[in-house]
Amino acid sequence: MRLLPVVVTVLLTVGFAYYVYIPLPDEIQEPWKLMMLDAGIRTVVRLISLKDYLGLDPYIKSIQPYTEAMMGRLLSSDSGGGVIPGVKVSEITFAGIPVLVYEPPAGGEGHLRRGLIYFHGGGWAFGSAKMWSYDTMTRKLSDELNAVVVSVEYRLYPEVHFPVPYLDCLAAAKHFLSKEVLAKYAIDPERVAVSGDSAGGNLAAAVAQAISTDDTMSVKFSVQALIYPVLQALDFNTPSYLQNQEVPLLHRTQMVCLWLQYLGVDLSLMPQFLANNHSSLQQSAITSALRARLDWTSLLPPKRKKSYKPVIVEKGLQGLVKEVPSLLDVRAAPLLAGAEVLAKCPRTYIITCENDVLRDDGLMYAQRLQDAGVTVTNDHYEDGFHGCFMKWPIEFDVGERGIRAYLNWLQNNL
């Protein structure tokens, strides 16, 4: 009978290892950490999917509390959590949009400070400025940069679709850049940045374009800093989408699903989008000039293209672009903006990760901005993956290095 507990223990251990293990790219330096985090997320998603199937709770509504729990939501925005006690945090509204304003410890009389507005990630469906992961970073930004940081609580799916999140962020940004607000917080109008990660990087890029080309704005952003941004929805067969389609923490199908939700497209069309049928040559609205703006065969270096071939469909979902014009809307897909718009964008910092489906979005945007005459710094992490900069229950060395490089760039360029 003594043998039975040993056998049970061995079987449970083997079963657990089998559930946790997934093949990962060799470049990832802490594979078991990522496997453990992925296993936890998979478990939550499967439980939530079961609840949804049983009709107990809608999927999005059910998963949001778990997402917040995994990254830690602050109970009180002014509690500080012992992170950086000197930073003052206020919950207010900018143009009716809820924001958290982080103010560094008071400096010398008459000294102007930097300003930065931040948009959190989460696929336009999850996340919050109050999550511990974002709160920790924005406090650090405020303290180390001596900056007033505004973190925006824009509205999310399923309550809203595009363009509402974008419009929320644009309204908050314009309010922040007003002379009255800059004077109130003693911010130097020549040193204001816009930043965001993932879907927040999408919003930051779109807002930066809008502000840069708005002649009514007397104050504009001096820099933009984008962390693995998502920038286009016409080609889901770029080399990075194919190479990393099963790499956590963002699978190819997950990203396509988030896009469809954001744009209000029926999820039953996902197979068509995965096959690039939505951007077939039949779509007359997608001109050759427009296709050139995300032509990875010319925008990516050979090292990233590898042996992949472009997926260009002759016939597909005819008329879809007319039904979903947001597919070509630069406010949703900043990579599609023309060179005349990009040329007006501020100095840019873009972080990309080798093992991320969104890698090529960021690399193509960096190249197009450079071609338009914008000064661009691209920090590429060979051992990076989507979400690695977040403060998960498990932290990653590549994330710590990335956050430090991000802070250093802002310190030197803002």
Which of the residues are catalytic? 198, 356, 386
Amino acid at 213: T
Burial class (CB in 10 A: 0-12, 13-18, 19+), 287: exposed
Q: Give which of 244, 397, 225 is closest to 389, Cα–Cα.
A: 397
Looking at residue 325, the DSSP 8-state letter turns out to be G
Q: Are 314 and 280 in contact (CB under 8 A)?
A: yes
Ramachandran assignment for 276, one of left (phi > 0), alpha (psi -120 to 50 degrees), beta (any other): left
| Phi, psi (deg, nearest 5) at residue 204 | -65, -45
Structure tokens at 5: 């507990």
Residues 6+ apart with CB under 8 A from 117: 149, 150, 151, 152, 172, 173, 176, 192, 193, 194, 195
Q: Is 122 left (phi over 0), alpha (psi -120 to 50) or beta?
A: left
Rg, C-alpha atoms of the chain: 22
Residue by residue, DSSP assigns 137-205 as: HHHHHHHHHTEEEEEE----TTT--TTHHHHHHHHHHHHHTSHHHHHHTTEEEEEEEEEEETHHHHHHH
**Minimal CA–CA distance to 171: which of 111, 110, 214?**
214
**Residue 290 near residue 328 (C-beta atoms within 8 A):** yes
Q: Which residues, listed in sequence order, are joined to residue 115 by a DSSP beta bridge?
A: 148, 192
Round to whole Å and give the CA distance between 204 and 334.
10
Q: In a 10 Å sphere around its CB, with 0-12 CB exposed, 13-18 middle and 19+ buried, how is residue 343 labelled?
A: middle
